[in-house]
Structure 1
């Protein structure tokens, strides 16, 4: 309590020695979106700090105040949370140019290597340059096709790994798998394969599973994501960073980044030297592409930072979504059977599902879209920053405001979705119309839209759909114990993952010759 008193007294002193800014005048203050009363200068930092996790506090305030747009002042920053699709479209479509920047903050700065990347970088010439590089050189449709064989290899490795688990403890009849480890392994293996040409930093496991290096790498990536834009007190009172790491966010971020880059950066340095020595002459993966870019040519630090950002953008969303999807489908056998029937009809049982089948797998894609709606990977999108004063939905939005679209509020909005808390993939089926995972009307937020739309939509969609399709086609899925009637779908309090990781009994359902062997 003492630290709060000291903070409050210091803030009051600073407040009364500063000139009032124009946005705190009574006339403008009344036009801000509704929100809780705030202390001078520090705003609502004390209640924010007391009500962890912050995202649940924000949603609780929106419910209590019965509002679809909320303004919370944290320090001198106005944080605007939105759960209405019409208001969300006004921010990201009608006034996209005004809200296309990112905040200057500790976590974004550290994770991007000092704003050397794309997604986490405030609007600048560098951001425009990196956005073009990703769009035309790294994540283009042509590059996506060029790398398909590497994604296929990881799909086969996934099937091999699960098949091996079926024979460890229960002879030929099946085996229990830890689904969270499984899906995180596939997502991380795939992006490592695309970037570095190898799924492992070390030797991996003989059964096709992750080794200690891969487990450590994934854990560090997830730790970075946990603290990225995580409402750190020092982001709203920047001068406090010179005194103390108030909530421990900076130390945790630095440690996680160090761990992740410990594995990655050595490979970058080694590869650059191979090109200099003439040992490597042909491009085989994305790291080769980054190194050989000519106009513009990237520095080593830019390459390393951008590779970390690609990891951050790729690993957690597919893995979180498919763990939830498998849990929901095991609980609702009708849905699981529907997905199996589609795969048997489109693909059959004489070959493994391939990326070329994706356009015809509407029900599988509907399951993915529904899990993105109901069980998003994060409560909010990455924050957008107002670059000038403006008005949205009749409210004054001051320059510098941080705008957060609520994935929970949009995807679970009862005014948009019928029975919003129930997993119902059929709601996305519309005759023969192909199901797409994006929603530019922002009735849900799978991938963002506008200038800051997710650059990895094609890659992320492909990884996620193929992951679910391979799991459903290749194996039967049951609860490991007859005493357990349903999967516990309780959500973690601190984030949006399943409170209890999913364990499932799996058995091969295809001819054994189709399963890749060791």
Structure 2
């Protein structure tokens, strides 16, 4: 094992192109052997187009837009109400029959309960520590209970009503100042930052990370923060070849991984110091009264009176809550 490791390190140092060629050659051979040795009698999959080795039906999907129309055409040609389309390492199962769909939701709900696993969702959720992106399992159950009982309960909603009212008043104040000074109000941007303000007030008990603007508008820090979140929204389930061919993640051909990581760096820059400072305040006893949702998350205890959530879980949960809040805004603005 040590000889192999030393040999690989030598290849990396002496000839990086040679190492890459050998790496991809190994991947291609391994994938071809898997598909050539695969016994078709072992797994009975629904009918579908014949896939290419390694890439599956990705070339056909990219060449036929919109994808939904292409899928319906395949199912019509195959005269089937359930099909199987292989995209790289992923099997897509489209269904048009209500009876079959009912069976998916009733009999096999657990098998299909999880959202698709993607490169972006892995990064955003800090390694699947949250309730939204995490696959169905114990972690999902834990975070679901935390969110349902401590963040979204009617009692919490009523408790934080005055904070939402403050941000609604600030939005009106901002629009009034803009109009009073003869300026134009971009409703889309104003409502984007209203959602950002609500999030910051609910979780950090503050409207701004910096000084903000005298007219009630966002400062540079708030603009950077909201822009980073919308970058995540645009990429979380956007098509990325590396989600279907995981070995392409090393290359980041479409640049998605770099954009998501840069956006996360910006968000963490604003979030992490506030979260860690607040945790320290609770640990040293200088704070013992819940004033916002961050306090609620930090003060949660398990059956042994230990903190229920780790620091990583709290950080991931806040990012996903912000993500969902602005996603709801997108739904409303495009309705």
The TM-score normalised by the length of structure 1 is: 0.54
> Does the alignment pair 1:163 with 2:173?
no
State the 1:98 CA deviation.
2.2
Which residue is equivalent to 1:292?
299
Q: How far apart in 2 are the matches of 1:196 and 1:245?
A: 34
Which of 69, 74, 85 is the aligned partner of 2:87?
Answer: 74
- SS in structure 2 of the partner of residue 166 of structure 1: helix
Kindly provide the CA deviation profile for residues 181-211 of structure 1, in whole angstroms up to 9, marking residues without a partner as x.
0111111211221111112111211111111
Which residue is equivalent to 2:275?
268
> Does the alignment pair 1:323 with 2:333?
yes
Q: Is the 1:112–1:120 Cα contact (8 Å) retained in structure 2?
A: yes
Relative to structure 1, the CA distance from residue 9 to residue 156 in structure 2 (aligned partners, 3 Å threshold; closer, same or farther) is: same
Q: How far apart in 2 are the matches of 1:84 and 1:185?
A: 42
Residues 205-284 of structure 1: matches in 2 within 5 Å? 205-241=213-249, 243-284=250-291
Which residue is equivalent to 2:184?
176
Relative to structure 1, the CA distance from residue 78 to residue 7 in structure 2 (aligned partners, 3 Å threshold; closer, same or farther) is: farther
Q: How far apart in 1 are the matches of 2:173 and 2:96?
A: 42
Which of 67, 74, 79 is the aligned partner of 1:58?
Answer: 67
Q: How far apart in 2 are the matches of 1:280 and 1:194?
A: 17
Which of 120, 135, 149 is the aligned partner of 1:107?
Answer: 120
Which residue is equivalent to 2:147?
134
- SS in structure 1 of the partner of residue 180 of structure 2: coil
Q: Is the 2:298–2:309 Cα contact (8 Å) retained in structure 1?
A: yes
Q: Is the 1:11–1:42 Cα contact (8 Å) retained in structure 2?
A: no
The 10-residue stretch of structure 1 (297-306 or 230-239) with the greater mean CA deviation from structure 2: 230-239
> Does the alignment pair 1:17 with 2:41?
no
Kindly provide the CA deviation profile for residues 1-20 of structure 1, in whole angstroms up to 9, marking residues without a partner as x.
xxxxx999877643432254
More contact order relative to length (CA 8 Å, sep ≥ 6): 1
Q: Is the 1:179–1:323 Cα contact (8 Å) retained in structure 2?
A: no
- SS in structure 2 of the partner of residue 122 of structure 1: coil
Q: How far apart in 2 are the matches of 1:82 and 1:154?
A: 44
Q: How far apart in 2 are the matches of 1:288 and 1:84?
A: 48
- SS in structure 1 of the partner of residue 126 of structure 2: coil
Which of 123, 126, 132 is the aligned partner of 2:136?
Answer: 123
Q: How far apart in 1 are the matches of 2:172 and 2:206?
A: 17
Which residue is equivalent to 1:453?
none
Q: Is the 2:121–2:128 Cα contact (8 Å) retained in structure 1?
A: yes
Kindly provide the CA deviation profile for residues 282-309 of structure 1, in whole angstroms up to 9, marking residues without a partner as x.
1010000111111162111111111111
Q: How far apart in 1 are the matches of 2:59 and 2:226?
A: 33
> Does the alignment pair 1:154 with 2:167?
yes
- SS in structure 2 of the partner of residue 315 of structure 1: helix
Q: Is the 1:197–1:285 Cα contact (8 Å) retained in structure 2?
A: yes
Q: Is the 2:32–2:54 Cα contact (8 Å) retained in structure 1?
A: no
Which residue is equivalent to 1:374?
none
Q: Is the 2:61–2:70 Cα contact (8 Å) retained in structure 1?
A: no
Relative to structure 1, the CA distance from residue 7 to residue 38 in structure 2 (aligned partners, 3 Å threshold; closer, same or farther) is: farther
Q: Is the 1:12–1:40 Cα contact (8 Å) retained in structure 2?
A: no
- SS in structure 1 of the partner of residue 269 of structure 2: helix
Q: Is the 2:75–2:83 Cα contact (8 Å) retained in structure 1?
A: no
Q: How far apart in 2 are the matches of 1:193 and 1:120?
A: 24
Q: How far apart in 2 are the matches of 1:289 and 1:151?
A: 17
Residues 451-490 of structure 1: matches in 2 within 5 Å? none
Q: Is the 1:11–1:40 Cα contact (8 Å) retained in structure 2?
A: no
Indicate the structure with greater helix content. Answer: 2
Relative to structure 1, the CA distance from residue 176 to residue 89 in structure 2 (aligned partners, 3 Å threshold; closer, same or farther) is: farther
The RMSD of aligned alpha carbons is 2.9
Which residue is equivalent to 2:17?
none
Q: Is the 1:77–1:236 Cα contact (8 Å) retained in structure 2?
A: yes
Q: How far apart in 2 are the matches of 1:156 and 1:123?
A: 40
State the 1:130 CA deviation.
1.0
Q: How far apart in 2 are the matches of 1:86 and 1:42?
A: 31
How many aligned residue pairs are there?
Answer: 305
State the 1:102 CA deviation.
3.5
